[in-house]
Amino acid sequence: MSKTILITGGAGFIAHHVVDYLLAKTDWNIVTLDRLDYSGNLNRLHDVVRRHEKATQNRVRTVFHDLKAELNPQIINMIGHVDYIAHLAAGSHVDRSIDYPMEFVMDNVIGTVNILEYARKVEGLERFIYFSTDEVFGPAPEGVNYKENDRYNSTNPYSASKAGAEELVVAYENTYKLPAIITHTMNVFGERQHPEKYIPMCIKRARDGEKITVHSDPTKEKAGSRHYIHASDVADALYFLLNYDMSKLSPDYGGAKCQKFNIVGGEELDNLELAKIIADIQGKELNYEMVDFHSSRPGHDLRYALDGSKMAEMGWNPKPVRDRLIETVDWTLKNNEWLEW
């Protein structure tokens, strides 16, 4: 019998890639739970679903609900039985969290409690994945790549709300035996990303010959850096984790049963190098300006870095980021309406 997965935030950037991946790789039924806010766009979901055959399209349903409220019996009935839950819904824009911190507490902490309360009552639930962020660890000094159970050091309300939600997931695993795991990933890119994000912004400005702002240290000589990863690789990693036999793993640090996993791109790129790659793919000359952004903006960090060795030892690795960049740039230029919304 076919499995069913509930994906919260299904119209969001990363989640709609997960939907696309599962439609292509499995026969699972997919229920997305959405409220459609500034970061959700139902057109994303429609765009990927319509690319599949009609019978495959019929495997996707959307239920509208704001997770700041408990899931009432009507919503639960509309969802139906599920085998897996992937909780990706979240407020995720750092700048907005600085301006509206309580909004992020409600979305990311209270919203997570409400989906956990629902999940612990789902009979036969096989796995609950909480999708967290690299930002819970805070800035990474040169040469430091954080492992899954390193100490947290949130530097903005967004990352603090995600770290708080993680602790609730761990508590529900320990208290209610919820079969939960937690993932951290960083700087995901790909098709249909919000145009304010760095990579779509670089694609558009390089195409139009406009100046690209590159965030740097105070000397304006060293650009910020990240381990960029394509959303399809994140989807592949989530599917890998949904099917992985967790009994093969020893308990994490401190004996906690709730395993954590870093989903990391295979190469660290600084933002100037990334902009140059994007311009080169288009055959354009790079026009850029180094700006000391991070030291003047509280809550923003110059470098984030995660250690992906745990997932690699388990047998999962991402595709080369430069190949993924070529795919993304080419697709975006051919579908440039996604640069304008």
The residues assigned a catalytic role are 134-135, 158
Give the gyration radius of the chain's Cα atoms: 20
Distance between CA atoms of residues 80 and 91, nearest Å: 26
Q: Which of 113, 213, 96, 216 is nearest to 156 (CA)?
A: 96
At 298, list the tokens. Answer: 């509280």
Distance between CA atoms of residues 116 and 129, nearest Å: 11
The residues that bridge with 175 in the sheet, in sequence order, are none
Q: Which residues contact 144 (CB under 8 A, 6 or more apart)?
A: 305
110-128 burial string, b = 16+ CB within 10 Å, else e? bbbbbbbebbbebeebebb
Spell out the long-range contacts of 328-332 with Cβ–Cβ below 8 A and sequence spacing 24 or more: 328/189, 328/190, 328/191, 328/199, 328/203, 328/230, 329/203, 329/278, 329/281, 329/282, 330/281, 331/191, 332/191, 332/200, 332/203
At 43, list the tokens. Answer: 């057109």
Q: How many helices (H) and strands (E) does the chain have?
A: 13, 13
Calculate the alpha carbon distances from 150 to 30, 145, 227, 260 in Å.
Answer: 34, 10, 18, 11
Neighbours of 207 (CB within 10 A): 17
233-254 burial string, b = 16+ CB within 10 Å, else e? bbbbbbbebbebeeeeeeebee
**271, 222 in Cβ contact below 8 A?**
no
Distance between CA atoms of residues 292 and 69, nearest Å: 40
